[in-house]
Structure 1
């Protein structure tokens, strides 16, 4: 049995904003010491709680693509196709999640881990195109088409690789997976290991420097079911029942009538947050001992309150679910959705509002082990096929590093692929990269026009600037979405683009 991970090693596997949140809650908490152990593959392998939810959604509405995720890279240089194919073979052997399909037994979703599975590297040759612009346009169409091709969860494979030849030493590589076997961290792991395996394959070897994997995702899923005893679930679900009792759907004004069933059609509007505003928000949070994530959540909840006219705002956010050292290098679906419910009182001070949001976030993270699908079951909200249950809007803060993965002998850079599909009405995703803060609103095109979302970006920036100017002692209801702060900070900040939704 492996040695239980230390408290600090478990924290170090998390994004920085989550580390800050958890450190604030460490005092008096018991360290988890139950190790995840391998389970017999001859037994029935349960799907994790997060996987069960995606399985249900696929069974409820087959052929959806909102849970397809992917990464595209432009690769310049002498690419060795055989080495790339060998590298793909190696990572499929290494990670069981890439060899997993799903089925149901007595109505329960189970994982089917295949001893071997071939994931072909599909090749498309566009190098004969005379017009580079037309060639690149066709490549973008093909990449988007493959990214939006539904996966068959029962048949698989749920991992696809596409290589498009654009010229003699010019290629585009697309890695795509269904979310049921992956998350954002999994894509980072996958590309990093692919580069190591590719370099080794060029030397005629297998990569031997990759860290050992003491367990696989199926082991985690079995451990999760064993660890979340009925008593623990009951206590955790009771918290969420109390916290979310009486929660009403978010009713934002829309440009179009809400369809009877949501289609997941979406787009993205990205924008820059000027450095002085980002620093102002960070300083405002520090005044109340709040992380940047808490401050960004507060601005977003205030925006949604102003737009909806509601003072009871629930936002969803995603946790990494990787708070154990055994899971750090594993491909799989570990994220969980948390509901952040805060009352927006116009008479409150800015500082008191931040303190309230901070308390909401910390409490939610205290109860993050309770799977979202069990919370939905416990609350049993009236099923509405036109919207997601409990939360219709999300807020996420990513901590990224610059640069694309480095393949031996190749120059690589990320490519933007239009996915145009998302599972929520509205999502604000922030990215903190080398001291720079950017944002993107992913929105349902069934509900919102691009111009409306552009104005929402301006109003978000206006509110953020207004809160910074008002300071902790300012009155929340007196902070305007427009005015001096908006004129100073918004001009030139917005830039609408459509890109990969991950």
Structure 2
């Protein structure tokens, strides 16, 4: 998949309301791009951090030795792997993208980034078949990967990229004696990467590997990038300081005025401070469940009837559930957006993700369909004003600092409805690996993923609740999953049901649990 196709796939995953607007912005219509183009920043000294990078820098300073913002990519490669060509391709990716050879320092108390000359990526090769035998190799590799993902990065000394290639199979079989199985882990600190960046790395690593196998294709090497991530960071800083975002900032200041933290009943009290970015209090776990096809299809039909995307419908349901469990009628959740609205940054590796705050006020007597209309307008407005970085929202609203909570939002909602790009490495069979998540930056987050049938307009929804184990027991989160399913069934069957009458069985169960003292002392909504 080329860059343009990848961009279109990511746009299609966003709420329908913003797709046309975003396509227009990328095409340069109505954006004033000729006056606001991203140019090359001066490379004579250090460079500024983007707002998102600055937040992670402060986290790293606050929680020394944390691995909470470690990020990784895992691949299983089966076949005759040319290790030398693979390493050369990886080095070429790092040479192409400055973000992968950047470190961070403090100059007179101000965080700055330093771009280093191209150099080989730290690369470790381990043959576990030779060390432990083929039967034990997979389990040993799991341990190696876990250790690698738990190893902190030093943002000042770097490097912030590490590669681990492990041989786990001898290749006696369909691949022949020259074959084999390798597992590859590319680790990075989140300050230099995001999900879209990982896809760029895989795509360029694949192309570079093929070129390495065929030196005669050297002329097909990609053209140098016009701008780099540090250029974006400098542009973002200049744009905000020039008051270019005043209109958007005014919206958020009004929208988030008086925002209160989410007060979910917990199984254990909050500590006075949490390890931002990976302390012990950030330890997390995941509960998964499936929303049946008939319920998911009912939600899709409801959304179509009300002009709301599936993401909007799921956000409305999640906020209703959180209101039920907290007893609050003013609920704010966050959602992540790619932060790549400008065409100049589409091919870049870097940390572009922004977080939007979606705040809803719930009237118990309102029909769910009318409430869904309100959430739709809230989501549309949030995407319209997404240019303001989350870090600036915190400054604008200036909430009372509570070190036991993340600022503004304590819960996230994410819908994954765009499949990952297929991995294709010449002569190899490639599968993506799953890396276990051991930290939860938010108290409870909701991730929904559409199955293969979603492309035809149907299919079940795969749901995952990521939660902080310092606050919640597994049984509590399992009940959250059951309550969500009950609410989804209720509104899919009767979109006109009042918010305070939806899923009475779930309400009764929740009220009983709270009365018994399990789950906290908040009244049921």
Task: Give the corresponding residue for 2:141.
Answer: 139
**Residue aligned with 1:128, SS:** helix
1:267 to 285, 296, 307: 285
Determine the C-alpha separation between the residues in 2 that align with 1:207 and 1:305: 59
**TM-superposition CA deviations, 1:454-484 (whole Å, max 9, x none):** 221121111111110112x22222111647x
1:308 to 323, 326, 342: 326
In structure 1, runs of 5+ residues without a counterpart are: 1-7, 487-502
Say whether the 8 Å CA contact 1:192–1:405 is kept in structure 2. yes
Size of the aligned set, in residue pairs, is: 477
In structure 2, the CA distance between the partners of 1:133 and 1:265, relative to structure 1 (3 Å rule), is farther
Task: Give the corresponding residue for 1:238.
Answer: 250
Task: Give the corresponding residue for 1:48.
Answer: 50
In structure 2, the CA distance between the partners of 1:210 and 1:462, relative to structure 1 (3 Å rule), is farther
**TM-superposition CA deviations, 1:137-181 (whole Å, max 9, x none):** 221111011112111111111111111111221111111111111
Mapping of 1:345-384 within 5 angstroms? 345-384=363-402
Mapping of 1:366-405 within 5 angstroms? 366-401=384-419, 404-405=422-423
CA shift at 1:388, angstroms? 0.6
In structure 2, the CA distance between the partners of 1:403 and 1:98, relative to structure 1 (3 Å rule), is closer
Determine the C-alpha separation between the residues in 1 that align with 2:15 and 2:271: 40
Say whether the 8 Å CA contact 2:9–2:418 is kept in structure 1. no
In structure 2, the CA distance between the partners of 1:210 and 1:277, relative to structure 1 (3 Å rule), is farther
Determine the C-alpha separation between the residues in 2 that align with 1:258 and 1:46: 35
CA shift at 1:24, angstroms? 6.8
Task: Give the corresponding residue for 2:474.
Answer: 450
Task: Give the corresponding residue for 1:180.
Answer: 191
**TM-superposition CA deviations, 1:305-341 (whole Å, max 9, x none):** 1111111100011111111211112111111111110
232-241 vs 112-121, which moves further: 232-241
Mapping of 1:29-48 within 5 angstroms? 30-33=30-33, 34-48=36-50
TM-score calculated relative to the size of structure 2: 0.85
Is residue 2:77 matched to residue 1:75?
yes
Determine the C-alpha separation between the residues in 1 that align with 2:13 and 2:420: 18
In structure 2, runs of 5+ residues without a counterpart are: 171-179, 275-280, 510-525
Say whether the 8 Å CA contact 1:342–1:360 is kept in structure 2. yes
Determine the C-alpha separation between the residues in 2 that align with 1:404 and 1:12: 15
202-211 vs 175-184, which moves further: 202-211
Task: Give the corresponding residue for 1:16.
Answer: 12
Determine the C-alpha separation between the residues in 2 that align with 1:198 and 1:69: 23
**Residue aligned with 2:130, SS:** coil
TM-score calculated relative to the size of structure 1: 0.89
**TM-superposition CA deviations, 1:243-265 (whole Å, max 9, x none):** 11111111111122212332321
**TM-superposition CA deviations, 1:326-357 (whole Å, max 9, x none):** 11121111111111100122210111110111
CA shift at 1:390, angstroms? 0.8
416-425 vs 147-156, which moves further: 416-425
In structure 2, the CA distance between the partners of 1:207 and 1:429, relative to structure 1 (3 Å rule), is farther
**TM-superposition CA deviations, 1:13-38 (whole Å, max 9, x none):** 74324262224768999334232112
**Residue aligned with 1:478, SS:** coil
Task: Give the corresponding residue for 1:475.
Answer: 498
Determine the C-alpha separation between the residues in 2 that align with 1:360 and 1:81: 50
Say whether the 8 Å CA contact 1:460–1:481 is kept in structure 2. no
Determine the C-alpha separation between the residues in 2 that align with 1:386 and 1:122: 38
In structure 2, the CA distance between the partners of 1:206 and 1:344, relative to structure 1 (3 Å rule), is farther
